[in-house]
């Protein structure tokens, strides 16, 4: 009985450890996605939803608000979460997801920094976004096995990547290519929505662990 008790305690500790890393990973992904989505919305200059104007280019330079968040919170933190889960032998689905998307945010923090040269980098950046769309589809296919919230998250994320492909492909057409404020609103809006789902899922899981109650839609 002592052995069984010890084993049970160890199992509970392992489950809590896995839940903790997953919660932090989803929170990190959610926050950085919402920040990135905000940076994609039409800027405060010109006529709202009529002129394609982004926030000042400073936001993309090394050390800028969004770029630094993508590199640290979205990139390094998520990648480390994935490595910890891999080392501990946790669920392969989320282990691969966190490690992969950690690599994505590290890459995207650099790619986005050159977004001002749309004509030169547009097609290549669209290609990068398309590859990560395929990466997301890999997880979307199996998302039903992990609940409706997971399915909704990966569906929104896939749409977000698809919109990025469209955005940068348009910019690749030439330096005078314009993108309407409606398009920017859709792109930024979907990234914010995706981030909100990740934040809500993490919050719901943590609330259930602490209060023993499930939030709606979880």
Query: In this predicted model, what pLDDT tens digit does every residue of 114-133 receive, in sequence order?
Result: 555 455 567 888 899 999 99
On whether the CB atoms of residues 66 and 36 are closer than 8 A, the answer is yes
What contacts 10, CB < 8 A, 6 or more positions away? Answer: none
Where do the domains of the chain lie? Answer: 57-211
pTM of the model: 0.82
d(CA 35, CA 168): 19
Percent of the chain whose pLDDT exceeds 90 = 39
Output the average pLDDT for the chain: 79
| Positive or negative: CA dihedral 79, 24, 109, 119 | positive
Residue 50 has a pLDDT of 39
Write out pLDDT tens, residues 61-97: 545 678 888 889 999 999 999 999 999 888 899 999 9
Please, which pLDDT band fits residue 58 given cuts at 50, 70 and 90?
very low
d(CA 119, CA 70): 23
* Region for 181 from its dihedrals, namely left if φ exceeds 0, alpha if ψ lies in -120 to 50, beta otherwise: alpha
On whether the CB atoms of residues 179 and 41 are closer than 8 A, the answer is no
Q: What is the 3-state secondary structure (H, E, C) of the chain?
A: CHHHHHHHHHHHHHHHHHHHHHHHHHHHHHHHHHHHHHHHCCCCCCCCCCCCCCCCHHHHCCCCHHHHHHHHHHHHHHHHHHHHHHHHCCCHHHHHHHHHHHHHHHHHHHHHHHCCCHHHHHHHHHHHHHHHHHHHHHHHHHHHHHCHHHHHHHHHHHHHHHHHHHHHHHHCCCCCCCCCHHHHHHHHHHHHHHHHHHHHHHHHHHHHHHHCCCCCCC
Packing angle of the helix pair 78-88, 92-111 (nearest 10 deg): 160
- Between the alpha carbon of residue 204 and those of residues 15, 67, 149, 213, the distances in Å are 16, 28, 10, 9
Please, which pLDDT band fits residue 113 given cuts at 50, 70 and 90?
low
Residue 15 has a pLDDT of 61
């Amino acid at each position: 009985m002592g052995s069984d008790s010890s084993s049970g305690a160890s199992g509970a500790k392992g489950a809590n450890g896995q839940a903790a890393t997953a919660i932090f990973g989803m929170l990190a992904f959610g926050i950085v996605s919402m920040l990135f989505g905000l940076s994609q919305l039409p800027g405060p200059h010109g006529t709202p939803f009529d002129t394609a104007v982004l926030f000042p280019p400073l936001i993309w330079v090394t050390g800028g608000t969004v770029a630094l968040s993508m590199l640290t919170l979205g990139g390094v933190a998520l990648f480390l979460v994935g490595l910890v889960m891999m080392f501990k032998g946790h669920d392969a689905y989320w282990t691969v997801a966190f490690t992969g998307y950690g690599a994505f945010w590290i890459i995207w923090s650099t790619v986005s920094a050159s977004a001002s040269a749309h004509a030169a980098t547009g097609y290549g950046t669209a290609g990068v976004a398309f590859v990560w769309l395929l990466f997301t589809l890999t997880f979307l296919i199996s998302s039903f096995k992990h609940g409706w919230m997971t399915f909704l998250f990966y569906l929104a994320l896939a749409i977000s990547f698809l919109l990025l492909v469209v955005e940068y492909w348009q910019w690749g057409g030439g330096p005078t290519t314009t993108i309407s404020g409606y398009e920017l609103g859709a792109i930024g809006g979907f990234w914010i929505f995706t981030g909100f789902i990740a934040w809500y899922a993490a919050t719901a899981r943590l609330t259930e662990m602490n209060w023993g109650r499930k939030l709606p839609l979880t």
